């Protein structure tokens, strides 16, 4: 745990990346696995994760990201895209995955699927994308923590125009909406922010014990 806390003190939202440094395939696979293993409501993972390496695409996305340089300077750009609808077919696919993974008969997990379908049937359609977007933040947390352990910098970003991301990346036709962006790579020595003390509330301000 001491290492975990040290990593949390080390990390910060990097303002300037060293564009000459790239994440190794091995480390990238570790980060992908950390995202894949993230918790989500019902275990549904109602999102997809787009890893944008193509420099031309990233150049197109920069204006849609309020002109932030991290979009093109970081080693990789990660876009978390939530599902705009969670259909029964999607849930059935999840149930099949459970059955296959755990060596169960499909009928053994059908009641769980019925419960999920019943729950979501009572959620207004306009709330579903809000709910699925929240799941992407859980995946981001795993990315942040795993990256800090590898001493890889991550900048989570909400400063972008989802509609433009959707258009450039072709997400709308996939039933997806860009909900969250993260740039990953290595901090530049010129980024003065890394030398600033981390500012957080004190325990007394933050925690309430009842």
Digit-coded pLDDT (tens) for 191-207: 999 999 999 999 999 99
**pLDDT tens digit sequence for 86-119:** 999 999 999 999 999 999 999 999 999 999 999 9
pTM: predicted TM-score of the whole model, two decimal places = 0.95
Rounded mean pLDDT of the chain? 97
Output 92-95 pairs: Cβ under 8 A, ≥24 positions apart.
94/42, 94/43, 94/44
The per-residue pLDDT for 1 is 67
Contact between 183 and 17 under an 8 Å Cβ cutoff? The reply is: yes
User: In whole angstroms, how large is the CA radius of gyration of the chain?
Assistant: 19
Contact between 168 and 61 under an 8 Å Cβ cutoff? The reply is: yes
76, two tokens = 């990789």
**pLDDT tens digit sequence for 6-64:** 999 999 999 999 999 999 999 999 999 999 999 999 999 999 999 999 999 999 999 99
* Percent of residues in the chain assigned helix, strand, coil, to nearest 5: 50, 15, 35
The per-residue pLDDT for 115 is 98
The per-residue pLDDT for 70 is 98
pLDDT > 70? residue 77: yes
Q: CB neighbours of 175 closer than 8 A, spacing ≥ 6?
A: 83, 84, 85
Mean pLDDT of the region 121-150: 98
The per-residue pLDDT for 2 is 75
The architecture of the domain spanning 2-85+125-206 is 3-Layer(aba) Sandwich (3.40)
Scored b (16 or more CB within 10 A) or e, 117-152 reads eeebeeeeeeebbeebbebbeebbebbbebbbbbeb
Mean pLDDT of the region 171-187: 98
């Amino acid at each position: 745990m001491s290492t975990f806390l040290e990593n949390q003190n080390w990390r910060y939202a990097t303002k300037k990346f060293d564009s000459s440094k790239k994440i190794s395939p091995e480390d990238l696979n570790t980060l992908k696995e950390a995202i894949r293993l993230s918790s989500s409501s019902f275990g549904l993972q109602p999102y997809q994760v787009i890893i944008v390496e193509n420099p031309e695409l990233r150049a197109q996305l920069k204006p849609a990201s309020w002109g932030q340089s991290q979009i093109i300077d970081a080693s990789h750009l990660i876009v978390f895209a939530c599902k705009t609808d969670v259909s029964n077919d999607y849930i059935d696919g999840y149930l099949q995955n459970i059955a296959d993974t755990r060596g169960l008969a499909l009928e053994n997990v059908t009641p769980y699927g019925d419960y999920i379908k019943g729950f979501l049937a009572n959620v207004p359609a306009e709330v579903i994308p809000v709910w699925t977007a929240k799941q992407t933040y859980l995946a981001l947390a795993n990315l942040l923590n795993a990256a800090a352990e590898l001493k890889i910098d991550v900048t989570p970003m909400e400063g972008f125009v989802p509609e433009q991301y959707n258009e450039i990346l072709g997400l709308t036709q996939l039933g997806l909406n860009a909900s969250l962006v993260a740039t990953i790579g290595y901090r530049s020595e010129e980024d003065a922010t890394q030398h600033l003390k981390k500012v957080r509330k004190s325990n007394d301000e933050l925690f309430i014990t009842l």
